[in-house]
Structures are given as structure tokens and as C-alpha cells.
Chain A
Amino acid sequence: MDMRGLSVFISEIRKSTTKEAEQKRVDKELAKIRTKFKTSANLKGYDRKKYVSKLLYIYMLGYDIDFGHIEAVNLLSADKYSEKHTGYLACTLLLNEGHELLTLITNSIKRDLASRDPNDQCLGLTAIANIGGKEQAEALADDVQKLLLSGDTKLLVRKKAALTLLRLYRKYPEILPPDAWASRVIALLNGKDLGVITSVMSLILGMVEKDPKSYVEAVQKAIRLLVKLVLNREYSNNYLYYGIPAPWLQCKLLQLLQYYSVPTDEGLMSHITQVINRIITGAERSKQNDKNKGVSKTNAAHSVFFEALNVAIHYDLDKTVLITATQILGKYLSERDTNLRYLSLDTMSRMAYSQHNEVIVNIRKNQDTILLALKDPDISIRRRALDLLYSMCNKVNAGQIVGELLSYLPLSDYAIREELVLKVAILAEKFAVDLSWYVDVILNLVSTAGDYVSDDIWHRVVQIVTNRDEDLQSYTSQTVFIAMSSVAAHENTIKLGSYILGEFGYLISNKEQFVPALQLDLLMSKFDMVSVPTKCMMLSAYMKFYNLYIQDSFVTDSVKEIFSQHRTFIDAELQQRANEYYKMIESGNTKLLGTLLEAMPHFPERQSSVMKRIQDRDAERKRMRAHGGEGADEEEEEEPAAFIAPSQLLQQNIQLATQAPQTKTASLFDFLDDGVGTTALPNDEEDLGYNASSGDLSDFIGGGASSNYNAAPIGNNNIGGGDMLDEIFGGVPAGIGNNSSFNYQQDYGYQQPPQQSFTTNLASDAANLAAQRKQQMGGASIEDLMMATSLNEQAEQNAAVHQDAQNKLRQLLVSRDGVAIEDENLQVKFKSEFHGNKGRLNIFYGNKSNQTITQFRADVSQHPLLDVTMSNVTPLIAAKAQSSQYVNVVCKGAFSDAITLVLHFEFNRKFFRFNVKLPIAVHKFIEPLPLNSADAFFAQWNAIPKDTPQESVRIFKQSEQYLNVDNTKALLRDGFNIAVLENIDPSPLNVVAAGVFFGDNNNRTNVLLRIQVNAQKQVFRLTVRSQDEVLTQQVQQYVQQYLEGA
């Protein structure tokens, strides 16, 4: 194999001291090889091999090779193994995937795969594994698959075949349809050779990544293998790597588990828990004992350790494992081994989302160490520390963490500054106790790292401030004014400032230091220094100023002056704005100006685009794997606290607005309903008609150059591209040219009914509202008629559903869970648990339709003897989604009537109301009373006198189902949770039972039952006795109801 010529050439190249000398030598050699290839038709195999090797070396040095490929391809079919080998090496290095010569070599490869010599097979497989593409997948997948599955294949070849197949699968997944294939490939895990198993696991992992469902069977195999390796220590010593059995395989097995949810099989679950525990203790021990045995030992142990932790985090079940883990990781945080510190930070940041509070508390104990890690000399450590601080932040420590991050910001690396800014912005919004703090934080961000503050961050400030009260608006105006006054104010501060002062500057204009003239001065002083887009924003702000301070001639003159100056500005956008605004002013129509420039309406509440950005990023991140969305979902639930607060009405109305087809009017009404639109009301009360028809508008525009003017209040069309722009213009009360809606707006503004009714019953109020609208409109519109009919239809529909619900309730009263009510759109399910006098009902609302259910609300009726509390439920249930709620019930005494759950919601533009009886009856608070002897029973039985209200006796006909006494017993035992006492009544057909009822403060009342059967007449005689007459009555009624089968 040794090629003297090659070695000589390499030495010569190495001798060249300068780049030029090297280049010269290379050029000379290339020329020589080229001639050799061209002229000598019968080049000896050895020479060809030598020259191709030289070419490879030259290629490796970084020179382009534009010939010789074909010689490499020719070597593939050489008889001599060494030549063939060089040919393959050259092809894999020189030919990229998709190279035109690949087609040529596919046939050679196919031949070698079919060879009986395993060496040839290996060469072929390696080649495909290196450069195979879709074309090879189609041509060769079958051959490779055969090699993998065939019993005759050598182990060495089989390993390669598995990995080669993975390459082809990644290029073209269709080659392996899972149906027939999955079980065969999983069966390969039963083999003995750990090398083959490792390769096959890589293949399976690759396929699971794309299609987890088809390979579920691999989970139990993986767990068995782990048990074998970790617990039973069964393996060949060849695979012991620094004392750890096959760490690569272990990691792969553990990674596989992270694609699937917790195993339902208890045996498997207990096995995997043991495995994880063993791995964790093993790694910790290796850290303590093997300090001097080299880094590979601890590395191998910890590679498995961290992967096992990933599984534990993924399952998030076993609290103790996670808590132990946080303690170990906490120790590692102050380790000298930087790798361990890095991985501990990384792992903790994923643990911080655990459902177990103790885990999170344990992580937070290390907060100081983690903050210190922000200043570590190693950038990798700093990044992970930042990630962890972000994920461990909550309401309590947000102030401190955000503060630390802000003070770290000026020192931070440029590489992570953008991410840092983004994270601070999100934390500040998410955990703001007070929104003025949030505004401060963002302004601080802009002034320290303005270049890294992307537009969506300050757009978000605008959104939040616009949707909030005047306090925040005036606070923000003040702070932004001060921030802008700094000589070095960043352009982003100026952008934000222009918008905020234009919108809300009037709120502070009565203060001496912020009078309109000063505000305008401030903006103007920055005007020359900023970029054109910012200038455009500033022009809009000036226009707003003009409208707001129309009495202030200083302001109006300056504004007009600046517009006129810019009517010939070189930038088209700026020029257009200047022209349009100038014309508007010139027209002198102040009413129209007032409308066009009225305050921006609220933005629809929605997910922060900033938040979305980081979610998108997170989604790609670390092993969320199977539950890829999990991280994102969590974030969504944690909608910024400050954002849920606004009366849900707003949110709901906006939903209404977006759902309703005739968006404009609908949203107008809804904004007004909340009184939100008050600032939007035109000032001029007399002139309701608003003759500002579109004709007037076009008069204005005629002067300018506009072709795409939008008849909406002038906001800042610089804010956000795309969707934000839509929302600014789309959801706006764009009423110009629509007289009727304006009239209506006026009417409504004065006749608005008191608002408190809203809070009581949203759905019916909404219906009332519709009726009111009808009256006010002085006649029914078609739409209202439609609504009325749909209400009637709905009543019929409801009747059917309610009937069905009755039957379901019967079932529920004698079981723990089940469906309570269901129609084609909504399903309500209960799961209940009772213990003593306490009970909890989990209620699941499933939206079966393809549309969102909105304005969802659930109320329960109050009850004198039951304390009922319920959790909040989200007002929206997305299509095909489920939301849930729980109701806690505490029983204070025997009761007779049921609690009703009232559901209101809007769906498909109709309002629905359902009454659902909660499946709670006295016997839910009964537990079995095991009385062992007849004496004990009769002592109790006789303590309650006959013929009193405490006793109830009924005779009624047996239903067919309960002709069998076992069914009766089962009903009492399982349905009513009452102990059936055997061997007390001499007749085997009769049943005796006893239970204990838990009332207020868990006071117990015994309740005793006796059911005698008259087999001839097929009747029951039911006797119930207890100290409490209501209890007696209720138990008797319910038991009878079921036994009668009525």
C-alpha cells in the first residue's frame, strides 16, 4: 500500500516555506498528473492509484481539483483490493452528493454489494454512507436492506448496512414503509452483538425522529436492554468503556425513551426508574472515587448520567429522582470541571419547567452561583447561565434577575447581546407586577443596547401602553420624554418616543416641563439625526400634534413649516407623507382631521411577537423531542400576567370581532360596549352625520401623490410590517363614509345600559344586546331576524341534548367518571373523587368542532349544604381542543337537591346555554362501613326505632337487571360505595348493607340498608335506617330508583 511517490511528494510540499512555493509545487504536480492521465492510455493500476492519492492530498490542502474524477471512478472496478480501496476513498472525498459522476458509480457499488466478499460489501456500503443521495436510495436501498436482515451477513457488514440504510432513509424516507419493516428492524435488537445493536439503534432513532408512532414497540426493547446493561451487568467486556458498559448504546436507548410518553406498563416503569436511579448514583460515585482515573471515566459515566436525567425530566414524574439530581447538579455548579458546570447549567434550565415545586425551589437555591456564572471567563458557560436564569425566573425573583441581567448587559459579549435583550424584554413583560417597571426596563434596554433591540420589542411596548390606562400612558410619555432628552438617545428610543408622544403626549402636556412646544422641540431636535423610516414616523407624530394642539399656533406653524419643507424630499415615502399631511392641513377641515387623527384603538390582545420569537427558537432546542410543542405550550399558558388582567370582556369582544364576518360594524359595537371607544368619539356632538364622505377624502388626496391611502385614522404605518399593520388598520373603527354606523355610534354612546349586567351573564346579555340593537335601529335587520330564528332552533336542539343528559346523569351518579352532556360541538366530561365529606370534580370541556368556542363561562348554583368552589376556565376553547376546570365540594349535611352547572358560550355566532346537573348526591359522601358480625349490625339497626322518619320502607317491583342478587350487591358496593354485609340475613337472596355518611367537619352518620326479595311476586322490600331523616330519604330514593330501573 505504501506509495513512495506519494510520500516524497508530501515531504516536498511540507518543505516549501511559503504559500507561493507550495502553490508552485502543487501546480507542477497537477500538470504532471494531467499529462499522465491524458497520454498514457494504459496507465498501470498502481500508478493510477498513486496519482489519485496525490490528487486527494492536494485537494485536502484546499486546492480545487477539476480533473481526475473519472480516474477515481475507474479505480472502483479494479481487481486489486488496494486500488479499489483508493478509488472508493477518492470518490467519497471528491464527489459530493449530487455530483454528476455519482450515477456512474452507483452500478459499481451495486456490484460490490452483491459480492460474496465482505470486504467489497464494506467498501460499497461505506461509499453510500458517505455520499449516497436520493438516487442511490432508490437504486440500492433493497440491496442494503437485504444485507442488514440476511442471516448470512457478517456482523461487520451488518453494522455498516444499518448506518448506510439510515443515510438512505434520511434522503428518501419512502424506501422504508413502516408496516412490514418496523417489527423486523426492532427484532434486530434481540441480537447478541452490542456493536450491531448500537448501529441498529442509530437507525431506529433516525426513523423514530420522523415517525415515532410506528416504532412504539422499540420502547420496551430499549428498557429491557438498559436493564441488562445497567442492572444485570450482562455484556461482553469488549464493550466496557472505562468501566461503563457500552455508554454510546446506553445514551441511544435513553434518547429513544424521550420520544415517547411515560410507559403505561408498571413493570416497565419500575424498571426504568431503577435504571435511572442506578445510573445517577453510579455517576456520582465515579465523581467521588475516580478523580485520578482520568477524565474519560467520569465523562463516560456522566454522559449516561445526563441522558438519564433527560429521561427523568421528560417524564417529570418521580420527584425524588429530580430532587436528588438538583442536589448533585448544584454541587457540580461549583466544580472545577468546566464541562460538568456547563452541562449542569444546561440540564437545570430544562428542569426548571418541572411540575414539582421542590425541584424548582432547589434550583433557585443556586441563584447566586448562577448569577456569578454570567461573569465566567468561558462564553459557553455564560450562555448556559443566561438560559438558566431565563427559565428559572418567576414573579418572586424577576426583579433581582432582570436587574442583574440589565447590569450585565453593558459587559456582555456582542455574540449573546441580542439574545440577552430579548430575554430581558420577555421576563420584564411576563413577570411585571407593575407595568411602569416594564416600561422602565425596556427603555433601559434601548439606552444601553439600542442596536440589539429589535423592532418587535418596542412595538410590544406600544401595544401594551395603548391597551392600558392613562396612568401608564402618561408615565410612559414622561419617561420616554426624559430618555429622549439625552444627547445620546438611541434611534430606537426616538422611534418609540415619537409614537408615544404623538399618541399620549397630550396627557402630560399640562405639566410645565412637558408643554406641547417642548415636546415638539424635542422631536424636531432629533429629526436631522435619524434615518428616513424614523423621520416618517416623526412626521406622523407632528401631524398628531397639529391635531391635538390646534389652538397652539407655535405648534401648528412649526408643523406646517416642516411639512412644506419636506414636500420635495428625495425619499418617496417621506415626500408623500409630507405632501398628504400638508394638504390635509391646508384643507382646513378640522372635523375631518379630528376623525382621521383620532387616537389609535386598542390592539387585539394576542401573543407577543417577541414571545413568539423565543418560542420558535426554543421549539428547535433541546430534546423536547416527542413532545416538541411542550415547551411552547407552557409558555403560552403563561401569557404575561399583566395581560390576563384586563377584563376578559375585552378579549372576548375582540374574539367576537374577529369571528364575525361583518367585522367593521361588529368591532365598532364591541369597542363601544366596553366604553373603550370613548376617546374615539368625535368631539363634535351636533354634527352626527359626518358628511365626511369618501369624496372629501379624495379631494385631500388628489393633491398628493397617493394611490394607496387607507381610510383609517393615521397611525404609524411604520409600526411592524405584515400582520401588525393589518391589525392596526383592520380592527380600527374605520367609519368614514359609512354614515349609518356613525349615527349608531352616537345613539349608542348615550343610551348605553349600565355595565354591571355584563359580569353576571354574558351570553344572555349578549342576546339582550342583540335585541336592544334591534330596537335602537328602529327595525329588525335581516341579521337580527336570523339570530332570532337561530335561537329558536337552538332551543329545540337543547331539549334533545338535555334529555340525553338525563340518562347520562343517571350513569354518572353511580360511577366516578363519564360524559355528562354531549352534542355535535361540545362534550362535557366529569372525573370525580370523593373522600370523607370532600369531593373534587374535574370537568373537561371538549370542543369537537372545527371552530373556536368563545366567551365560554361556567357557573354553579349555590347550595345551602354544600360549599362549592371552582377554578377559572379559559374563555376560549380552540377547535378540537379541550379545556378543564375543577369544582371542589365540601358537604355540610345531608342534602336533597342537586347543584347545577350553567354553561354559556358563543359558537358559530350563536349563543348557547346549557344547564348540567352535577353528579353529586348524598351517597357520594358515603363510605363503606364494614360490620363484621350480625350482633354489631343489629345493635345499630335496632338503635333506630321503627316507623319514624328515620326509617323508610318501600315495596316495589324488581327490574329485570336486579333479579340477580349479585347485581344488586354490585350496585350497592360500586355505585353507592356501601359495604355489603354477608352472613347476616339468613336468606341468600336478601342483602344487608351499611355505610357511613360524612357531614360537616366529617361528622359521621351510619346508614343501614336491608333489601328483602319476594321471589314469587318479584318485588323488593327496601328498608333504610339512619339517624338523619334526610339521609334516609335520599338513600332510599336513589337506591329505589336504580333497583326499579326507572
Chain B
Amino acid sequence: MTVQFTLLISRQGKVRLSKWYAAYNQTERARSIREITNMVIGRPSKLCNFLDWKDQRVVYKRYASLYFIVVVDKTDNELITMEIIHHFVEVLDRFFGNVCELDLIFNFHKAYFILDEVLLNGEVQETSKKAILRVIQAQNTLQDNTHEHQFVT
């Protein structure tokens, strides 16, 4: 179950987050984003959430104005990949409290951090929401304590 890369793309096609787990150079990244954005945006909502793309499979889901896109191997389980997206969205939602696109724009560094807690090296890292939120909250306090020296938990 290896995710090749994850994208968050707005309805206007702006990249809000992109994370690459396999080696893609800058040109390949740009091309992939363009191709996938074209495929996904404008697909009617009734259609299925899976698309063939090159030798891989695109699994995507739209939440409000954002498309969450995950590209996986063809051998991967499509539904569980979709639930990774959902799981990630739920964690974001809990953390930001009713998350919206703006939260992710202004706090992009946090979004990246949370994504790393959900998916590391393209593999799902933690599936318990509780466990993830505990870690993220702890990190958050740690970071806000700008003047405090590191402490050992």
C-alpha cells in the first residue's frame, strides 16, 4: 500500500499541498500535477473516485472547495486509500475545528506536519484519530513555547 504522492488542489487548480514519496524531479512534478488536475477537476460528482493514470491509480475525493488526491500503485486497495483521505480530513477538521481552505493556506506548515503523522513514506502511519491528535497537540504546544528550552516528555 504505497502512496506515490499526495496533492491538495483547489477548485481553481491551485496547489495547496503536495507531498512526493517517490523520486520525481521538478518537471515531472509539474507535469503530473497538471495532468491529474485536468483529469480530476470537472469530473461529475456521481462518477467513481478512481482513475487510471499512467501505470498508477488516482484516488481522489472532493471536500468543499478542495480536491484531495492520492496516487497509488495499481495493486493497492482503492477503498482503503479513499479512507486515508477521509481520515486525514477528519484529523484536520478536529485540529482546526471545522477546517476550511484558508486554514490550510495560512497554516500550510501545520498541514504538512499533520500529513506526516497520517502518512509517512507513503504508508499509513497511524489510524487512531485519538493518537494522532494527541501528538499534534503536543507538538503545537511545544512550538508555541518559543522561549522555553526543549523539554523531555
Residues of A bordering B, CB below 8 Å = 1-2, 7, 10, 14, 46, 53, 56-57, 60, 62, 64, 79-82, 85-86, 89, 93, 96-98, 116-120, 126, 129-130, 156, 159-160, 163-164, 166-167, 194-195, 198-199, 202, 205-206, 236, 238-239, 241, 246-249, 251-252, 255, 296, 299-300, 302-304, 306-307, 338-339, 341-343, 377-381, 383, 620-623, 625
A843 CB → nearest B CB, Å: 38
Interface centre among B109, B130, B135, B140 (most CB of A within 10 A): B109
Distance (Å) between the CB of B117 and the closest chain A CB? 9
Given A1-B140, A339-B79, A380-B51: A160 in contact with B146 (beta carbons within 8 A): no
Number of B residues, CB within 8 Å of A? 60
User: Complex: how many Å from CA A341 to CA B116?
Assistant: 32
The reply to whether the CB of B77 lies closer than 8 angstroms to some CB of chain A is yes
CA distance A154 to B34 in the complex (A): 41
On chain A, the residues within 8 Å of B124 by CB distance are 198, 202, 248
Residues of B within 8 A of A302 (CB): 79
Having A14-B105, A621-B75, one finds 18 other A-B pairs with CB under 8 Å, namely: A2-B144, A7-B106, A46-B146, A56-B109, A79-B150, A80-B149, A81-B150, A89-B113, A119-B139, A160-B125, A246-B127, A300-B80, A303-B77, A303-B80, A304-B80, A306-B77, A338-B49, A621-B74
Closest chain B residue to A254, Cβ basis: B77
Q: Select one of B25, B30, B80, B125 contacting A159, CB under 8 A.
A: B125
Asked if residues A339 and B128 are in contact (CB atoms below 8 Å), the reply is: no
Q: Is the interface of B mostly helix, strand, loop or mixed?
A: mixed
How many residue pairs at the A-B interface have CB separations less than 8 Å?
Answer: 182
Interchain residue pairs A-B with the least CB separation, the first 6: A303-B79, A338-B48, A303-B80, A1-B143, A238-B128, A202-B123
Chain A residues with CB under 8 Å of B139's CB are 85, 119
The SS class assigned to the A binding surface is helix
B109 & A130 in contact (Cβ 8 Å cutoff)? no
Give a binary string over B111-124; 1 marks a CB under 8 Å from any A CB, 0 the rest: 01100100011011
Contacts of B125 in A (CB 8 A): 159-160, 163, 195, 198-199
Q: Are A296 and B83 in contact (CB under 8 A)?
A: yes
Interface residues in chain B, defined as those with a beta carbon under 8 Å from any beta carbon in chain A: 1-2, 15, 17-18, 21, 23, 25-26, 30, 44, 46-52, 55, 74-75, 77-80, 82-84, 86-87, 105-106, 108-109, 112-113, 116, 120-121, 123-131, 135, 139-140, 142-146, 149-150, 152-153
Chain B residues whose CB sits within 8 angstroms of the CB of A79 once the complex forms = 149-150
**Cα A246 to Cα B121 with chains together (Å):** 20
CB of A356, distance to nearest CB on chain B (Å): 24
B120 touches A129 (CB 8 A): yes
Most buried by A among B21, B123, B130, B131: B123
Report the Cα distance A160→B84, complex, angstroms. 17
A381 to B43, CA, bound (A): 13
Asked, given contacts A10-B105, A248-B80, A380-B51, whether A117 binds B146 with beta carbons under 8 Å apart, the answer is no
In the complex, chain B residues whose CB is within 8 Å of the CB of A60 = 15, 17-18, 108
Per a CB cutoff under 8 Å, which of A118, A299, A338 touches B79?
A299
Question: Cβ of B153 and Cβ of A118 under 8 Å apart?
Answer: yes
Asked if residues B126 and A159 are in contact (CB atoms below 8 Å), the reply is yes
Closest-by-CB residue of A relative to B127 is A248
> Is B79's CB under 8 angstroms from A343's CB?
yes
Pick 5 A–B contacts, CB within 8 A, sort by A: A1-B140, A62-B15, A89-B113, A163-B120, A251-B1
Q: Are A380 and B83 in contact (CB under 8 A)?
A: no
CB closest chain-B residue, reference A302: B79
The answer to whether residues A119 and B153 also contact, given A93-B112, A202-B123, A303-B80 and a CB cut-off of 8 A, is yes
Please name all residues of chain B whose beta carbon is closer than 8 Å to the beta carbon of A381 when the two chains form the complex: 47-48
Cβ-closest chain A residue relative to B86: A296
Cα A246 to Cα B78 in complex, Å, equals 16
Complex Cα spacing A622 to B52, Å: 13
**Alpha-carbon distance A877/B75, docked complex (angstroms):** 33
Taking a contact as CB atoms under 8 Å apart, the answer to whether B50 and A303 are in contact is no
User: What is the chain A residue whose CB lies nearest that of B43?
Assistant: A378
Looking at the assembled complex, report how far the CB atom of B59 sits from the nearest CB atom of chain A, in whole angstroms. Answer: 10
A97 engages B121 (CB within 8 Å): no
Select from chain B the residue with minimum beta-carbon distance to A120: B150
Known contacts A81-B143, A623-B75; A338/B127 CB under 8 A: no
A119 touches B142 (CB 8 A): yes
Contacts of A130 in B (CB 8 A): 21, 116, 121
With a cutoff of 8 Å between Cβ atoms, the chain A residues found around residue B50 in the complex are: 339, 342, 380
B150 lies within 8 A of A117 (CB): yes
Also in contact, A198 and B142, with CB within 8 A (given A7-B106, A164-B120, A338-B46): no
Give chain B residues whose Cβ lies under 8 Å from the Cβ of A343: 78-79
Tell me the smallest distance from the CB of A82 to a CB of chain B, in Å: 4
| Most interface-central of B49, B50, B82, B121 (chain A CB within 10 A) | B121
Cβ contacts under 8 Å, B80 to chain A: 247-248, 251, 300, 303-304, 307
